[in-house]
Amino acid sequence: MTALLALWLCALCAGAIYYSIPPSGTKLDVYSVALWIMSSGVLVVSAVILVVSVVSPTGIHPAKFW
């Protein structure tokens, strides 16, 4: 379930980055730049969560090691 939510968040951030790129010859807007920066950060975090949740085995849980 975590991987599915992280994948959805990756797609949402990629869409936000794509639509915040201004057309050629137009001036940059501060809100578009802020959206791009925040979306890039969230995209990196959600990609890390996605990779960790897919690669890690399901049997690992911190409570099992105590």
DSSP 1-58: -HHHHHHHHHHHHHHHHHHHSPPTTPPPPHHHHHHHHHHHHHHHHHHHHHHHHHHS-T
What distance in Å separates the CA atoms of residue 66 and residue 54, rounded to the nearest whole number?
A: 24
pTM above 0.85, yes or no: no
Residue-wise pLDDT tens digits, 13-53? 898 888 888 788 888 888 888 888 998 999 999 998 888 88
